[in-house]
């Protein structure tokens, strides 16, 4: 898809030359973008800015972008155009994240209303870039410095939710042929153990009861504890599990090659580690997996699933799938359906292959026709949806603890998460957001559960 270049004059912000006072961040894509968006907001708040209720009320709008799929890129340019207001004015506009990293100065050429372009490894320099924009310059920073951004960020702000994300690892060294992450997020880096423990402790002291550890390959995290001992992700999880007040730990996204025996054992041995694992396989055909540069086979993946379930029989499996990768035949696609049936997922995400510029797969022969991809995706999603519905139905009659996270649509209704990451609707006027309550599941639908409260569980 091509995007027209906007070369028309652009009106200055309403307060040209003045520092923006109110910001609004919109994050697209993965949970790591959500974390980055929160951290940008905290950094701007530390500079004295306040969060606007909407884009229309903001002096600075940050579009924190995702580059995984072509439509996501198109949406960014569409959103930029919509930020122009009826009176012809506009806020200061910053494009951040992976699209900013991949397209850099091209964004400023195509959309002259953009004031700031900043990559995911450079957003700690936002205050300096805002100052440049105030001087009338287009501020662009897509550097990937050796020193990570995390040391330059302010302490975590008090969270308004009982659950929080914590990025522990960034970047990827796997170089799957369809993926832009190594080019937009850089090489794999692990944040220091001490920094992560300190950030987690601050979150818990602020009222967070569930932390999800994030990384492009989160289970590749390594570090040294305060005694200099080498630790893998299981060691970090073990340290967090010792924190009083932290009730639940999750992590995503994992790579099959980094799923160690010690991490598998952690699912068996650490009660606070929730029985849910997102472990993408992407395809069921060994020929396609090789073309993707995935370093596992269908057989090795299924063997790994067996080992995980032997350690934690009630674990819920989740995955990612790409349909229509270049050269995929009907037999290859049938192999994907086979691995889905063999694994029996509780949840999964599936997408049509989307060629990303600069990746090897974009230049491969035998690109699949869109109508074939559409038809295959529908068949795959029908199977995945039926498995998810069956998993949800199997919970009816079970008792479980639910962490209440938000209000529901009905009076007195609250919505929380089960240990298996299912949304659970509960009506209990005595409970509040942040409570961990025990419920009995009384009904299930394709996407959520309904629970009857039994007792408030002391935190």
> Among candidates 309, 243, 298, which has minimal Cα distance to 275?
309
Strand partners, 26: 63
Q: From CA 319, how far away is CA 247, in angstroms rounded? A: 25
* Residue 179 marked ligand-binding: yes
Burial class (CB in 10 A: 0-12, 13-18, 19+), 158: exposed
Residue 45 has, within 13 A of its CA and on its CB side, a CA count of: 16
> Among candidates 305, 271, 277, which has minimal Cα distance to 421?
277
- Decide the pairing of beta strands 248-252 and 276-278: unpaired
Residue with tokens 């932290």: 246
Which stretch of DSSP H or E encloses residue 459? none
What are 271's two structure tokens? 């009660």
Q: From CA 190, how far away is CA 186, in angstroms rounded? A: 12
Which stretch of DSSP H or E encloses residue 231? strand 230-232
Residue 337 has, within 13 A of its CA and on its CB side, a CA count of: 15
Q: From CA 449, how far away is CA 396, in angstroms rounded? A: 8
Q: From CA 209, how far away is CA 244, in angstroms rounded? A: 10
Residue with tokens 């569409």: 78
Q: From CA 37, how far away is CA 230, in angstroms rounded? A: 31
CA distances from 274 to 298, 401, 441 (A): 26, 11, 18
* Residue 30 marked ligand-binding: yes
State the DSSP code for 166. Answer: E
State the DSSP code for 80. Answer: H
* Residue 176 marked ligand-binding: yes
Q: From CA 208, how far away is CA 186, in angstroms rounded? A: 30
Q: From CA 234, how far away is CA 261, in angstroms rounded? A: 10
State the DSSP code for 282. Answer: B
Residue 20 has, within 13 A of its CA and on its CB side, a CA count of: 33
Asked if 200 and 240 touch (Cβ cutoff 8 Å), the reply is yes
256: CB partners within 8 A, 6+ apart:
279, 280, 281, 296, 300, 301, 304
Q: From CA 37, how far away is CA 59, in angstroms rounded? A: 17
Annotated binding site for [4Fe-4S] cluster: 30, 66, 98, 172, 176, 179
Annotated binding site: 30, 66, 98, 172, 176, 179
């Amino acid at each position: 898809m091509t995007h027209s270049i906007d070369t028309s004059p652009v009106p200055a912000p309403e307060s040209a030359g003045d520092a923006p006072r109110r910001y609004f961040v919109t994050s697209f894509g993965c949970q790591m973008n959500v974390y980055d968006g929160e951290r940008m907001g905290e950094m701007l708040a530390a500079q004295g800015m306040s969060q606007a209720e909407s884009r229309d009320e903001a002096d600075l709008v940050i579009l924190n972008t995702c580059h995984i799929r072509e439509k996501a890129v198109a949406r960014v340019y569409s959103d930029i155009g919509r930020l122009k207001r009826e009176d012809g004015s506009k806020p200061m506009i910053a494009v951040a994240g992976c699209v900013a990293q991949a397209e850099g100065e091209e964004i400023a050429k195509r959309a002259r209303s953009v004031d700031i372009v900043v990559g995911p490894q450079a957003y700690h320099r936002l205050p300096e870039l805002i100052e440049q924009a105030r001087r009338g310059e287009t501020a662009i920073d897509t550097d990937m410095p050796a020193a990570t951004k995390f040391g330059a960020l302010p302490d975590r702000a008090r969270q308004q939710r009982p659950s929080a994300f914590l990025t522990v690892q960034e970047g990827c060294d796997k170089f799957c042929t369809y993926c832009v992450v190594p080019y937009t997020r850089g090489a794999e880096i692990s944040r220091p153990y001490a920094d992560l423990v300190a950030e987690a402790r601050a979150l818990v002291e602020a009222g967070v009861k569930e932390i999800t550890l994030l990384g492009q390959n989160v289970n590749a995290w390594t570090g040294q504890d305060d005694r200099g001992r080498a630790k893998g992700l299981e060691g970090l999880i073990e340290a967090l599990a010792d924190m009083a007040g932290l009730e639940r730990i999750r992590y995503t996204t994992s790579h099959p090659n980094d799923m160690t025996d010690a991490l598998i054992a952690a699912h068996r041995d650490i009660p606070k580690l929730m029985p849910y694992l997102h472990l993408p396989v992407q395809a069921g055909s060994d020929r396609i997996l090789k073309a993707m540069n995935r370093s596992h086979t269908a057989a090795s993946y299924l063997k790994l699933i067996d080992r995980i379930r032997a350690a934690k029989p009630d674990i819920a499996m989740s995955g990612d799938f790409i349909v229509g990768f270049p050269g995929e035949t009907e037999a290859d696609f049938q192999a994907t359906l086979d691995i889905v049936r063999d694994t029996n997922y509780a949840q999964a995400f599936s997408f049509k292959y989307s060629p990303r510029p600069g990746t090897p797969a974009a230049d491969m022969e035998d690109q699949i026709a869109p109508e074939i991809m559409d038809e295959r995706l529908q068949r795959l999603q029908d199977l995945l949806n039926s498995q998810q519905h069956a998993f949800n139905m199997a919970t009816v009659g079970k008792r479980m603890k639910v962490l209440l996270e938000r209000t529901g649509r009905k009076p007195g209704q609250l919505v929380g998460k089960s240990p298996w990451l299912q949304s659970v609707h509960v009506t209990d006027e005595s409970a509040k957001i942040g409570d961990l309550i025990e419920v009995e599941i009384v009904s299930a639908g394709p996407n959520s559960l309904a629970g009857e409260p039994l007792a408030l569980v002391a935190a």
